[in-house]
Amino acid sequence: MELDTIAAISTPMGEGAIAIVRLSGEEAFEIADKLFKGIGGKRLQDVASHTIHYGHMIDPKTLEIAEEVMVSVMKGPKTFTKEDVVEINCHGGLISVNRVLQLVLNYGARLAEPGEFTKRAFLNGRIDLSQAEAVMDLIRAKTDRAMNMALGQMEGRLSKLIGNLRQEILETLAHVEVNIDYPEYDDVEEMTHSLLIEKSTFVKKEIEKLLRTAQQGKILREGLSTVIVGRPNVGKSSLLNSLVQENKAIVTDIPGTTRDVIEEYVNVRGVPLRLLDTAGIRETEDIVERIGVERSRQVLKEADLILLVLNYADELTEEDENLFKAVEGMDVIVIVNKTDLPQKIKMDQVQQFSEKHKLVTTSLLEDKGVDDLEEAIAALFFEGSIEAGDMTYVSNTRHIALLNQALHSIEEALQEVEMGTPIDIIQIDLTRTWELLGEITGDSVHESLIDQLFSQFCLGK
């Protein structure tokens, strides 16, 4: 399939040292040659691949210099898209990069759709669908662990594992077909059932092993939605500032200062937290504060982790007890803050309420206890540390859903074998498992899904 030549700005918009306009397609060199004038007058079509050249972008109509540039030339198929690629490095101002982009669009290129460069890499067979999705995961990674996981998926770690499982199923189906085609042997049926049980059990265990990584992988990819809750003036905003290590939230002695939900991303021992500081949950006549309290209650329901803050210098109140009831059954770390002040809270009473939760004491004013809190967060979700670096993690919600469907399908096949169901019925479930696994890598997936996935990418990627 012949594709037209696309172009887009591949660096973030705004002021910077450089900006890059990328072209990909059969006419990439031809279009660039119309506009680029380099030292020595060489055409870009004639220079060696993977080289960079200094010169100017010239508007052919006016012959005016549009921009001073460095142009990288990469000839297919040894490129990201497997097509001819030109990258024009220009100054990083908004005017300069848009001027260069407009020139290449005026002289034959089409503006790329979001994610279209990566989509072409997929369509041209350079990467599969799971690797393409890992490109966006890499861009969005907020911790080293998340980045390493995305790199592993980009290198094809998950693809290889899925490919091996699909091959195992395919070979099993082929063996079954041979046995069915040669029924003259007495032990054919016994051999077939034995083979199906062995191979299906192996595939089932491998899928289960992948799904066991799903919680950690999803956390690394998307971050933990972490809500800080507590009565007003217990130190919630101070906790946010301590974890973020910046003064993002206003800290005062006046209850009700935080009127809305404040959101920040923070890296805690390699665990990305989407940290939400909420308005203190209490009954109030203040209309604005009341709206903030309602928003706090809403985010509480959607949280992965609750950091419930109590005041060491206050007795446990009915509002505190109501908060314990509100977070019952959730992952909670109880933080008793302000240990630098005289104690009024009864710790045995706190322990009674928080017997199912981890309990940490802090003095955020004196920067004490934050390390213990970070360790508790990591231990709660990763048992203190993540698995070895060569572990294959599943983090994508789409992949997890497909693996669960594949597991259900292979389990049905195993049940049918045990029940003595005819082989051709069992084959349907095995084939369905094979197809579902293929949807992860894009070997068996609808075009509409591909379009939807790549539309979520940023422009120029």
In the chain, residues under CATH classification 1.20.120.430 are 131-213+394-444
Look up residue 298 and give its DSSP letter. H
Q: Which CATH class is domain 223-382?
A: alpha beta
Q: Which distant-in-sequence residues (6+ apart) come within 8 Å of 385 by Cβ? A: 378
Q: Of all residues in the chain, what percent are helix, strand and coil, respectively (each to 5)?
A: 50, 20, 35
In 3D space, the residue among 377, 397, 453 whose CA is nearest the CA of residue 211 turns out to be: 397
Distance, CA of 136 to CA of 373 (rounded, Å): 31
In 3D space, the residue among 416, 396, 397, 420 whose CA is nearest the CA of residue 408 turns out to be: 416
Task: State how beta strands 6-9 and 51-58 pair.
Answer: unpaired
pLDDT of residue 258: 39
Distance, CA of 349 to CA of 326 (rounded, Å): 17
Distance, CA of 307 to CA of 305 (rounded, Å): 7
pLDDT of residue 391: 56
Q: What angle do CA 125, 76, 123 make, to 5 degrees?
A: 20
In the chain, residues under CATH classification 3.30.1360.120 are 6-112
pLDDT of residue 141: 75
Distance, CA of 195 to CA of 427 (rounded, Å): 13
Q: Which architecture, in CATH terms, is 6-112? A: 2-Layer Sandwich (3.30)
Q: Is the peptide bond before 77 cis (omega within 30 degrees of 0)?
A: yes
Q: Has domain 131-213+394-444 been given CATH number 1.10.287.130?
A: no
Q: How many CB atoms lie within 10 A of CB 427?
A: 18
Ordered per-residue pLDDT tens for the chain, 461 residues: 557 999 999 988 878 889 999 999 999 999 999 999 988 788 999 999 999 999 999 999 999 999 999 999 999 999 999 999 999 999 988 899 999 999 999 999 999 998 899 899 998 989 888 888 888 788 777 777 777 777 888 888 888 999 999 999 988 888 777 666 655 555 545 557 788 888 899 999 999 988 888 877 777 777 778 888 888 788 887 888 888 765 443 333 333 433 344 567 787 777 778 787 665 444 444 444 455 556 656 667 777 888 989 999 988 888 888 888 888 888 889 999 999 999 989 888 888 877 778 899 999 888 888 889 888 888 877 654 444 444 567 878 888 899 999 999 999 999 988 888 887 788 889 999 999 999 998 887 677 767 767 777 676 67
Contact between 92 and 110 (Cβ < 8 Å): no
pLDDT of residue 454: 73
Q: What global pTM score does this model have?
A: 0.68
pLDDT of residue 74: 96
Residue 71 to residues 31, 38, 40: CA-CA distances in angstroms?
13, 9, 14
Residue 415 to residues 411, 420, 428, 439: CA-CA distances in angstroms?
6, 9, 13, 24
In the chain, residues under CATH classification 3.40.50.300 are 223-382
pLDDT of residue 49: 95
